[in-house]
Amino acid sequence: MIPLQMMTKIAKTALILIVTGMFMSCKENKTGALGDDNPLLATWDTPYGAPPFNLIKNEHYKPALTEAMRIHDAEIAAIANSHEKPDFKNTIQALEDSGQLLNRIYTVFNNLNTAETNEQMQLIAQEIAPEISKHNDNIYLNEKLFARVKQIWDNQLDLKLDSEDAKLLERKYKAFVRNGAGLPADKKERLRKINSELAVISLKFGDNVLADTNGYQLVIDNKDDLAGLPESVIAAAAEEAKAKGKEGKWVFTLQNASVMPFLQYADNRKLREDIWKAYQNRGNNGDTHDNRINIIQTANLRMERAQLLGYKTHADYVLEERMAQTPDKVYTLLNQIWEPALEKAKQEEADIQQLMKADKIEGPVQPYDWRYYTEKIRKSRYSLDEQELKPYFSLDGVRNGIFTVCDNLYGISFKQVTNVPVYHKDVTTWEVHDKDGTLLGLLYMDFFPREGKKGGAWMTSYRKQKTVDGKRIIPIISIVCNFTKPTANTPSLLTFDEASTFFHEFGHALHGLLSNVRYESLSGTSVPTDFVELPSQIMENWAAEPEVLTLYAKHYKTGAPLPAELTTKMQQAATFDQGFATVEYLAASYLDMDYHTITKPITQNVTPFEDEAMKKINLINSIIPRYRSTYFSHIFAGGYSAGYYSYIWSGVLDTDAFEAFKETSLFNKEKATSFRTNILERGFTADPAAMYRTFRGSDPSIIPLLKKRGLYHEVPTGANMKN
């Protein structure tokens, strides 16, 4: 699956703490005897102040979170009940500094509940979610506290704040307003109930998707049914079978690294259909993991909440704080790309239909046919076999290539360290240094699928960057992926899509690692979702450049570089199947917007709602949305509701930004320095559109994106995105 779907920190969970207090430093925490027995409350006497994963047990979470909320309540009460005249330091900065312990603990819990979860953790999450929701509401609905914040907001011109202080004040004030601080008492009470319900439903949704993903196995015991599959895929399936106690057989799962190669190569059409149906029916099987009711409840509650707060729809509420600003602007962008993408997808479908007829398969193209015949067309048209490429994209080789790109662009280097606690044996840790040797941050990397890890790929933070008393506190960043596992005979070999995903997530990591601001709540990836994908997606562009491929694409056995003829074939096939890729992505974006632009409660079932949404845009039957409703975790269990369009919005930004390098040189130091200082280091300390214009010198054009995807015919109306 292509990197546009990959998750980021803010897409992980709707429950990530809204309170923007800083992390507690290693020697600040004093919680008494309780902390002596609970590592989450005790001083973290670890390298870099990293979480002591080796000491944390499930039973530590709930008492630690309960105690941390109690401490935070006291901090908030001290601010709200202060007799001092409200000013920036005693109110706004005090709010920023509050909740350090709670933020630290809840961040660890949430991160592990996605990367290394278990049934007990999921139950704890469902128990604690309403308590966290209530805790947050108690802050934002605190009338005394809001009165102090509002007084500062109303008199900000007299304070002569610098730009970063002014931005922090704006974010704090808007957080109160957008969380109901100005509502009458009865509406505040209803808002509390909505928030509590949504917190629990979001968790249930994600847990159900994980359960259905883990619950399916396609077990093959007849070797003839493996026809068409590459030896590496067969070997991986044998390893999976052995791990599951089915030695001598082959097991395929719904993890992308397993199901997608099967759909791409397996000659057995019936088995492709079987695994495809299981994949696209996750959360939609009428059992205890069914998500259909969760979806309707979520969409309706979000609509009600938005209307309580004075907005027409949930999308209006969300987009007010995004670059897009309004639903109309989102639909305008989607519509500009939809028609040429659908036209290209129909041409691709016709090509597949011809091959199916040659194979004497009657009837229309089915979704489980698409990847299989597309691979045949790729081989025929471009003499390009993805299996030819994989030996040149070992995980270690791609990682080293990314390190080289980062060094060439920004002068930063990476050193593996082994003295840091990790939460799983597969996790590696790395120091990140600037060109002068300064330690920039600590990086975790976690690459392989397992039952306790949710699907997709994402970057997250265990500690965001901040500045305390003039000293930069280093961030602790993590990349989590689900790449092809190594086997007994070969290292982890990536498809080029997986290699691009690695580059993508590393772009997010750079956004966190290079952050250089004062306030944690404004640092790194704490930016609007339609801007947060710019640093990640621009990194993908380097992955495919011939000049860069020579640096890292080397055969894992011989060390030989990727042959020039394969590089040429990759370039020639760059826009191949982009109709399909763009259409399936856009279909999911339309579906997201349709759920979140409702003005009246949904009363029908999820299936007809989704069908009607797809009929509206004339989606062809051979393609389904990249995420069907019942496993659309980005929007129902993550932070991308009314925001899945963000990948294409940022796609406009990243392709336009990369032109700045293509026009000069791929490793133009001046451009790289400008991108670092104007984008990567600044977090949300300024307006994203203004930051982009400072870097690029103009508003972004949509044309580079259309050209990259092979969709450009003529200059579309409104080709430049302005805010």
3-state secondary structure of 181: coil
Rounded to whole angstroms, the Cα distance separating 117 from 462 reads 16
DSSP 615-658: HHTT--TT---SS-GGG-HHHHSSS-TTTTTHHHHHHHHHHHHH
Rounded to whole angstroms, the Cα distance separating 664 from 366 reads 44
Q: From the candidates 505, 533, 584, 610, give the one annotated as an active-site residue.
A: 505
Question: Which helix (H) or strand (E) segment is 266 a member of?
Answer: none
Place of tokens 């957008």: 178
Rounded to whole angstroms, the Cα distance separating 1 from 71 reads 44
Give first-to-last CA distance, the chain, whole Å.
31
Diameter over CA atoms, the chain: 83
The b-or-e profile of 679-713 (16+ CB within 10 A means b, else e) is: bbbbbbbbebbebbbebbeebbbbbbbbebbbbbe
Per residue, the 3-state secondary structure of 376-436, as one string, reads HHHHHHHCCCHHHHHHHCEHHHHHHHHHHHHHHHHCCEEEEECCCCCCCCCCEEEEEECCC
Question: Which helix (H) or strand (E) segment is 525 a member of?
Answer: none
3-state secondary structure of 480: strand
DSSP 319-351: HTTSSS-SHHHHHHHHHHHHHHHHHHHHHHHHH
- Residue 687's alpha-carbon distances to 86, 164, 170, 698, 713, in angstroms, are 26, 11, 12, 14, 32
List the 428-433 sheet strands across, edge first.
413-417, 428-433, 439-446, 476-480, 458-463
Rounded to whole angstroms, the Cα distance separating 552 from 549 reads 5
Rounded to whole angstroms, the Cα distance separating 224 from 266 reads 10
Q: Which of 93, 96, 68 is nearest to 526 (CA)?
A: 96
Query: Are the C-beta atoms of residues 694 and 678 closer than 8 Å to each other?
Result: yes
Rounded to whole angstroms, the Cα distance separating 89 from 92 reads 6
3-state secondary structure of 167: helix
The residues that bridge with 467 in the sheet, in sequence order, are 472
Compute φ and ψ for 328, nearest 5 degrees: -60, -40
Q: Which of 139, 67, 65, 129 is nearest to 98 (CA)?
A: 139
How many CB atoms sit inside 10 A of residue 30's CB? 11
Active-site residue 505, yes or no? yes
Burial class (CB in 10 A: 0-12, 13-18, 19+), 386: middle
In the chain, the amino acid numbered 231 is E
* Residues identified as active-site: 505
